[in-house]
Chains A and B, each alone.
Chain A
Amino acid sequence: MSLAILLGVFAILFFLGMPVAFAMIVAAWAYILYSGFDLSFMALQMFAGLDFFVLLAIPLFILASEVMARTSVAQRIFDFAEALVGGIHGGLGHVNTVTSVIFSGMSGSAVADVGGIGRLSHRAMVNQGYPAPFSAAVTATSAVIGPIIPPSIPMIVFSMVSGASIAKLFFAGAIPGLLIAAALFVYVYVVAKRRGYPMGRRATFAQLIAAFIAGFLPLMTPVILLASIYLGIVTITEAAAVAVLYALALGIFVYRALSWQDFLDCMRTVFIACGAILILLPAAKVFGFALTAEGVSNHFAAWIMSISDNPIFILIAINVLFIVLGCISDPNVNIMLFVPIVMPLANAIGLDPIHFGMIVVLNCMIGLVTPPVGGLLFAICGMEKLRFETVVNAMWPFLGLLFCILALVTAFPALSLWLPGILFN
């Protein structure tokens, strides 16, 4: 009965359009009132939901990309990518992908990628004559790479709920992220050649070197970030602070494009942006408490195992679950709520926690570009005043690509485990 109250209240409020986090909080509240727990205990749990040192990295990574976006860093990365791949069939499409890959090494959030460097690439593509829905689809798909290649906010959240090593998770994402980029490259090349999309002039070697030198310092950000995490000099949280410091140093001393006022504005933007993610943590904490108290994860594992205990079936079931969730809900919510529920199942078939994390994060990121609820699609449609349906129509082939990569990552653990394995053992 109490479980029915929890899930029923949540479902009703969720579909009535109450903010997802509050729907979770109110459902847990109804559950706690019904089962006679103390409400001050609920307040304590909400505080505990945010009381994790690793979470400090979330606003810091947003701050780093915010500072970068306000200086000429985005343009420099774009220019470098254009000199590198602009002269191939589908030129600016590849530029879009390459900038996203580079930028993903500095920022941990896909939506931030679309807002910053994605907009730049999208507009350049449209100006050169690419159809707007196609370039929006390229922009959204390449932004998916953002949180797969380290650093990554969803992976921070995953490591918090599962206890998996965050450094290993970060490095696990590198190869799958590059795989997505490679798949995009091939697809855009073929489509652009067949449909005769415009292509830029091939840059000379001297121009490429010039663009590389102009972009050298920003291009070093991912290297510094990953090296400091790999060498264990700093914690993830401090690595995020170092990334901010580096971005500030570039903006203030090297490019002289950042005033004190700009920095304060960045702080304000980060403050406003981070609440949308952070509210989910206390919410998932109290909701998850209720689920745990009801033993849902054991029931769920037992139920799936009763259908079949074939590992392949269970892997597919996990993927289907997260794909469906991804279509209707937000990545961080899905990770917070469902990873604890699915975890016993993953353990039962001996799935490596890092591999499991990679599958979940990839699923959740694909969920950002699936209709009817896709955060990245909403972001780009809102920004560029495009119709949601036209972008969704252009998205289908890209979704096909992403699902192929997901299948590969699920089927071949080595894609996620090889790199952390050689780095950390």
Chain B
Amino acid sequence: MIRFLKTAEVGIGSFCLFAMFAILCTNILMRYGFNAALPWAEEVSNYLFVWAGFLSCAYLLGKDEHLRVDFLVSRFSDKTQAAIRLFNDLVLVAFFVSMVIPSFQLLGKLRTTPSLRMPEAIPYSILPITMLICLVHLISLIRRHYAAYRDAAA
């Protein structure tokens, strides 16, 4: 499940980046080659970028690879460190759980995008998606960190 989720994140996210790059290049070509810039290019590539960005953040959360400062924490015993990590995970669970419903509610309050006239809810749907993915990742992180805690305590 987790492995599938990670593969999907990397696949979709890299595709968004690729599509963003392709649209930007096409737009440059259209503007200078055919004197007909695509009015929607900036908007669409921008949203693709936001999607890739949020997916990448969620992916790194799952890999436990976000930038952190641990020069203080690393002085504690293994057991304490594992306990602190579990505490951090639980704080994040509380945050993401509380954000799921508000981010769905947000989708109902939006208008349409300026150039394509598509509902803004489509690009913004990445918000609840990210919140849910992060929760799934956190559950597996908690399992891993709890195992580490038990090993350190034993």
Contacts and interface: CB of A to CB of B under 8 A. Distances in A.
A408 B119 CA distance: 52
Interface residues on chain B, size class: 35 or more
A245 B25 CA distance: 8
Contacts of B91: 13, 18, 26
B57 A47 contact: no
- The dominant DSSP class at the A interface is helix
B50 A20 contact: no
Q: How large is the interface on A (under 10, 10 to 19, 20 to 34, 35 or more residues)?
A: 35 or more
Given A43-B102, A47-B127, A272 B56 contact: yes
Interface in A16-33: 16-22, 25-26, 29, 33
A67 to B, nearest CB: 11
B88 interface: yes
Interface in A52-73: 52-53, 55-56, 59-60, 63
Interface string B53-77: 1111111110001111111111000
Contacts of B65: 276
Contact of B87 (A16, A63, A238, A244): A16
Contacts of A52: 46
A330 B67 contact: yes
Contacts, number: 161
A40 B104 CA distance: 8
B106 interface: yes
Contacts of A60: 21, 24
A19 B67 contact: yes
A22 B13 contact: no
B42 interface: yes
Nearest to A15: B72
A17 B72 contact: yes
Given A16-B88, A42-B99, A47-B50, A329 B17 contact: no
B82 to A, nearest CB: 11
B109 A272 contact: no
Contact of A40 (B69, B81, B102): B102
B53 A18 contact: no
A324 B56 CA distance: 30
A39 B98 contact: yes
A13 B10 contact: no
B121 to A, nearest CB: 11
Contacts of B53: 50, 55, 274-275, 278-279, 281
Interface in B40-57: 42, 45-46, 49-50, 52-57
21 contacts: A15-B69, A15-B72, A15-B73, A17-B73, A25-B95, A44-B106, A59-B17, A59-B20, A234-B28, A238-B24, A245-B25, A271-B14, A271-B59, A272-B56, A274-B17, A274-B52, A275-B53, A276-B67, A279-B56, A372-B71, A373-B71
Given A18-B91, A264-B14, A274-B52, 9 more contacts: A20-B66, A22-B95, A63-B21, A271-B14, A272-B56, A278-B56, A281-B53, A330-B67, A372-B71
